[in-house]
A = this chain, B = another copy of it.
Amino acid sequence: MSEPTVIDALLAELGAEVVQLPRDFGSRQLQDWSGVPGAVPAALIRPRSTQDVAKALRVCHAFGQAVVTQGGLTGLVGGANALGGEVALSLERMSRIVEIDRTSATMTVEAGVPLQVVQEAALDAGFYFPLDLGARGSCTIGGNLATNAGGNRVIKYGMMRDQVLGIEAVLANGEVTSAMHKMIKNNSGYDLRNLLIGSEGTLAVITRAVLRLRPKPTAVATAWCALPDYEAVTKLLALSQARLSAGVSAFEVMWAGYYDAVLANLGQLRAPLDKRHPYYVLLESVGSDPERHAEAFEAFLGNMLDTGIVTDAALAQSEADALAFWAIRDAPGEYPKFIPHHSAYDVSFSISDVGQVAEVCEQRLQERWPDALVMIYGHLGDGNLHIVVDIPGTQGRVHDEIDNVIYDVTRDFHGSVSAEHGIGVKKKAFLGHTRSDAEIAAMRLIKSALDPRSILNPGKIF
């Protein structure tokens, strides 16, 4: 009689209803949105509860079996793809909203609940859950936590780690570390929560979370601004943050190269202003004082025009106007229509360096490829730049060369090779551009301490 395999043991512990073999999940989505190919996992485990997750990990730990945890598979760096040999652990069945506590302004959820479901439940309860990204319909809270997701409104509300008060997670050996607290302040020992958030499934499987809800904004003001130079952009950022009492909820900057390319190629977009300008900013402020909000925003904008910091501006007079401005910023969703083979980067810098970084990147790319299309835009309030490059006629073949140009500049300006997407497998080679050897050594020590058999998402991050 042969020894039982890890699959036998998983089936014995959890049953065929929870543990599926490849023949049973044949047509399933197996890879994320990164374009990195995903392997077929040896089995697909779909736990119904934290206890199921604990059981699965205890078995995998005993066998030294690698596990890749999967949420909505919308990641952009291959972090949730199987590389070969793993079992996949999908949290799709753990998708309940457990409780909404109106007095504490918290929502307790299982990790598999989609972001959009949380957003809508918050609104229904009279609150607001501010994290928002394009994949909202498919991505899950567990994935948002594993990658510390960002998005458009980080400038006002912070990233995913700022939206959560407590988490429950299962460690590699099957131990459940439950810290489902609702307190905002808790200085009792190490901050395990923030360590697990953003660790891309390599330290634990996050199973539940207590989310922090915010008051629902009741007023919004949006403007499309044109600016003469990068210095004016940083001035507008500082002044809008200093003078708009409700704060700034979006400060999306677009370089002329981006604006020109998307307007030229996407017929449905309409130009908010008559003339062409070097820089554009989509400025948004949400607040809760409908009576005074619009008036204060308009007065501020008028002052910016008077002082010449803003050359020209269009104020949204309706939701349709605001949507038309956002359509220009959200044009990257339409790239496949005109630059299907582009290379895209998500990098961050100190705000004082961003202007020069953009210049240097453009210059180095166009030195090497004179006809390079370089589109630059981003969440400037967070120092987060998106750079999109297309070299006509190369069909994506020079992707690695473009990587080197962008990431070398990132290293030289002490930036981050991943502002919000994570490292996964796609950016592994460049981790050392942002994190020092000593930091990476410390990360490895923590990884070995918490996952000594290296079963959790091996081969990711480092």
Interface residues of A (CB under 8 A from B): 101-106, 147-148, 150, 154, 159, 161-162, 171, 175-192, 194-195, 197-199, 203, 215-216, 218-219, 234, 238, 241-247, 287-289, 291-293, 295-296, 348-353, 379, 381-384, 414-423, 427, 431, 434-436, 438-443, 445-446, 448-450, 461-462
Q: Is the CB of A198 within 8 A of B192?
A: no
- A449 partner, pick from B197, B288, B448, beta carbons under 8 A: B448
Residues of chain B within 8 A (CB-CB) of A353 are: 104
Shortest distance from the beta carbon of A143 to any chain B beta carbon, whole Å? 13
Residues of chain B within 8 A (CB-CB) of A442 are: 171, 175, 177, 192, 450
- A419 partner, pick from B162, B176, B186, B427, beta carbons under 8 A: B186
Residues of chain B within 8 A (CB-CB) of A188 are: 416-418, 422-423, 427, 431, 434-435
Residues of chain B within 8 A (CB-CB) of A198 are: 187, 190-191
Residues of chain B within 8 A (CB-CB) of A190 are: 195, 198-199, 203, 443, 446, 461
Tell me the complex Cα distance, A219–B182, Å.
Answer: 31
Q: Is the CB of A416 within 8 A of B183?
A: yes
Q: Is the CB of A416 within 8 A of B103?
A: no
- A431 partner, pick from B189, B291, B351, B381, beta carbons under 8 A: B189
Tell me the complex Cα distance, A182–B97, Å.
Answer: 36
Residues of chain B within 8 A (CB-CB) of A105 are: 238, 351
Q: Which of A180, A295, A419 counts the most B-chain CB atoms under 10 A from its CB?
A: A419
Shortest distance from the beta carbon of A173 to any chain B beta carbon, whole Å? 10
Q: Is the CB of A182 within 8 A of B287?
A: no
Q: List 19 A-B contacts (CB under 8 A).
A: A103-B234, A150-B187, A162-B162, A171-B442, A178-B439, A179-B436, A182-B349, A182-B352, A188-B422, A188-B435, A189-B423, A189-B443, A190-B461, A191-B197, A195-B446, A215-B242, A245-B245, A245-B287, A291-B296
- A179 partner, pick from B148, B183, B435, beta carbons under 8 A: B435
Q: Which of A289, A435, A439 counts the most B-chain CB atoms under 10 A from its CB?
A: A439
Q: Is the CB of A101 within 8 A of B352?
A: yes
Tell me the complex Cα distance, A189–B416, Å.
Answer: 10
Q: A103-B234, A171-B438, A183-B348 are in contact. List 9 more A-B contacts (CB 8 A).
A: A101-B350, A104-B350, A159-B185, A162-B162, A182-B414, A192-B439, A215-B242, A445-B450, A448-B449
Q: A103-B234, A238-B105 are in contact. Are A245 and B439 (CB under 8 A)?
A: no
Tell me the complex Cα distance, A114–B446, Å.
Answer: 32
Q: Is the CB of A382 within 8 A of B419?
A: no
Q: Is the CB of A449 within 8 A of B441?
A: no
Tell me the complex Cα distance, A198–B419, Å.
Answer: 24
Q: Which chain B residue lies CB-closest to A414? A: B181
- A241 partner, pick from B215, B422, B446, beta carbons under 8 A: B215
Residues of chain B within 8 A (CB-CB) of A103 are: 234, 238, 350-352
Shortest distance from the beta carbon of A390 to any chain B beta carbon, whole Å? 25
Q: Which chain B residue lies CB-closest to A191? A: B194
Shortest distance from the beta carbon of A239 to any chain B beta carbon, whole Å? 9
Shortest distance from the beta carbon of A75 to any chain B beta carbon, whole Å? 11
